[in-house]
Amino acid sequence: MRHWFLQLLVNLPLFLVPVVVLGADAKPKAAGTDRPTGGDKAQSQPAADQVPAEPKADADADKPQRAKTGSRPTSMAIIPLPGGLKTLTIHFRWSLYPKASIETRLVPGPEGKGVMVTPIYFAEHLKGKIRDDLYSCLDHTGEGGLTRSFTKDKLVYKMIGRRNSLGNQGIHVQVYPEESKQPNENPAAAYLQLDTWAVDQETLSLDLARDEFPKPGTLFVWFFREDRVVWEEQIRWPGYK
């Protein structure tokens, strides 16, 4: 009898083990990892249905950023024409700005950095008789064009209306000091009615004549909307040989 009872105790774990296994939960408990739970369906879920992680703030810091458009020219270049005339070509959507104009000043010499240069602000004078004279020059389509001048604050403003290199009747204003013996010593000019200087709505081509800009130097360029400067740039001007 005692021998039978001891044998029962030895074999008892063999009967209890299946009972413990069969009574366990069929689904595994979630482990302490980032792996999804919920069976094979959850693990095979497409990536598009899962919530993406938020990108880090500096994820795109090293990527080149697209330049802002509309506030500055995309490019400027000096273009020589077959007849010898040189033009300043500006790529900029000028047509978005009503009553726009461009002003230029040349600082002769090899370097123009550190030089304080101011525009002409010709739009401040564009009223009354001066405005009437300017439109007379613009509307004159005869041979040789038409010129009108006035002097103010010891500066001479020479309004020149003539056919430009684009075949249009254009108007620009040559500006130089009254006491200057050579008007092209430190030349400046204003270009008005930009539609007459336009190749298209995003390209301007301005004539820089030999008798007005003969020397090389740094050409400062301002784009105006009425009397307000929209942008300022500069470019090396080769002059005429």
The predicted-structure confidence for 157-215, as pLDDT tens digits, reads as follows: 999 999 999 999 999 999 999 887 777 778 999 999 999 999 999 999 999 999 999 99
Q: What is the pLDDT of residue 101?
A: 97
Q: To which residue do tokens 């009872």 refer? A: 5
Span 95-124, pLDDT tens digits: 999 999 999 999 998 876 667 899 999 999
Mean pLDDT check: name the lowest of 44-58, 92-106, 148-162, 213-227.
Answer: 44-58
pLDDT at 112 (0 to 100): 62
Which amino acid is present at 91?
H
Instruction: Between 62 and 230, name the one with better pLDDT.
Output: 230
Q: Provide the pLDDT for residue 51.
A: 41
Residue 237: predicted pLDDT: 96
**Confidence (pLDDT) at 183:** 72
Q: Which two tokens stand for residue 139?
A: 């509307």
Phi-psi bin for 154: left (phi > 0), alpha (psi -120 to 50), beta?
left
Q: What is the pLDDT of residue 113?
A: 65
Query: What average pLDDT does the chain have?
Result: 78
pLDDT at 23 over 60: no
- Residue spans of the domains in the chain: they are 86-237
| Segment 81-97 mean pLDDT | 95
The reported pTM is: 0.69
Residue 6 has pLDDT above 50, yes or no: no
CA 35-40-45 angle, to 5 degrees, is 70
Q: Quick one: pLDDT band at residue 12, thresholds 50, 70, 90?
A: very low
